[in-house]
Amino acid sequence: MSLDIAPSFLYMLLMAIKRIGILTAGGDCPGLNAAIRAVCRAASDRYGMKIIGIANGFRGLISEDAKVLKPEDFSGILTRGGTILGSSREKPFGSDDKDEVASEKVSAIMDTYSNLKLDCLVALGGNGTNTTCSKLAREGLNVIGLPKTIDNDIVGTDRTFGFHSALSIATEAIDRLHSTAQSHSRVIVIELMGHKAGWLALYAGVAGGGDVILIPEIPYDINVIASHLEKRAKSGKTFSIVVAAEGAMSITEMQMDKKDRKKYRLENGPSAAYRIAAEINAKTGMETRATVLGYMQRGGIPSASDRVLATSLGTAAADLLANGRFGRMVALIGNDIGSVELTVPEGKVKNVPANHYMIDTARAVGTCMGV
């Protein structure tokens, strides 16, 4: 018997992890069902565990909305978008950082965990979810986190599933904008998701050949963007595509305090693309349009690459369960699947580093990064 197998075999014999709860929380993304299927199949077929599906993220854990999942419940879902379990943005600890204060919701979660006789909870989610998991682990629950998000912004894992599928959708959208921008000799600003990180805009911008890419990590100077667009126009390029992350901000906005920035934003359009389009038009006089891709980026079937990552992370989570290795988040580390302590992603955001090679790649092909 190999050393790898021995601890899990022993753990199963001694501790017998029999019942696990599984939930999906936060914004959905392609690949969630593939991951649910992988956790459930490996946990039940390989390790003989019983799976309890919890509805709508932590909301279902608070209200004890749960049911036993049978094999037919997690069969045929590999390619399906969304999550069969439902999701919500419920944050049981609230949004402040007083994690030592066990709220009523946290007590309700403890009750549900014990009423359902769970031996462990597996939670699939983004930054908020993994932070909640870490806090629940400190409250004494056995918890395993499984990272997902189209934003790719979770510390501790090199990539999240959902990102690759969203990247394909965003790239196709940018491709499609080229023909209409060209026909009308316009500047089109497309806004992509990503929350406070610029991964999606940077990668889709490069893949779709955006002329300007704006990410939150590099506050932009509207004068630099204007002169880049004017130079393009003078060289005979009749249109331009600006790819902006939803969190993109100007140097001017960055220098404002939070209150003034909020006020400025409320007065200058519903979101980043509209603000940036208005600023470009005001500086250059060019006909400029804004478009927001929105929830399309999160919907639909997962890419092959996301299915593979989701399945690998799901089966790795089942291995952690069998080994009794709680308080951890499964992760892609280099080319391998591993895990990190849940404290690693807690309360953090993985931003695009200033020296990331993709920023230089974009610049090397003539893309303006806003400064």
Task: For residue 351, give the DSSP letter.
Answer: P
Residue 319 annotated to the active site: no
Burial 269-289 (b: 16+ CB within 10 A, else e): eebbbbbbbebbbebbebebb
- The least distance separating ligand F6P from the CB of residue 341, rounded to whole angstroms, comes to 22
CB 151 within 8 A of CB 143: no
Is the Cβ of residue 99 or residue 153 nearer to ligand F6P in the bound state? 153
Q: C-beta of 271: minimal distance to ligand F6P in Å?
A: 10
Q: How far is the CB of 247 from ligand F6P (least distance, A)?
A: 8
φ, ψ of residue 66 to 5 degrees: the values are -150, 155
Cβ closer to ligand F6P: 216 or 327?
A: 216
Candidates 28, 99, 119, 151; catalytic one: 151
* Residue 310 structure tokens: 């989701």
Which residues make up the interface to ligand F6P (CB under 6 A)?
A: 27, 89, 126, 149-151, 193-195, 246, 298
Give every CB contact of residue 5 below 8 A, 6+ residues apart in sequence.
none
CB of 197 to ligand F6P, least distance (A): 9
Q: What token pair was written down for 15? A: 């501790």
Cα angle, residue 152 at apex, residues 223 and 329 outer, rounded to 5°: 150
Q: What is the token pair recorded at 226?
A: 């204007």
Beta strand extents in 38-115 (DSSP E only): 50-54, 66-68
Residues catalogued as catalytic: 151
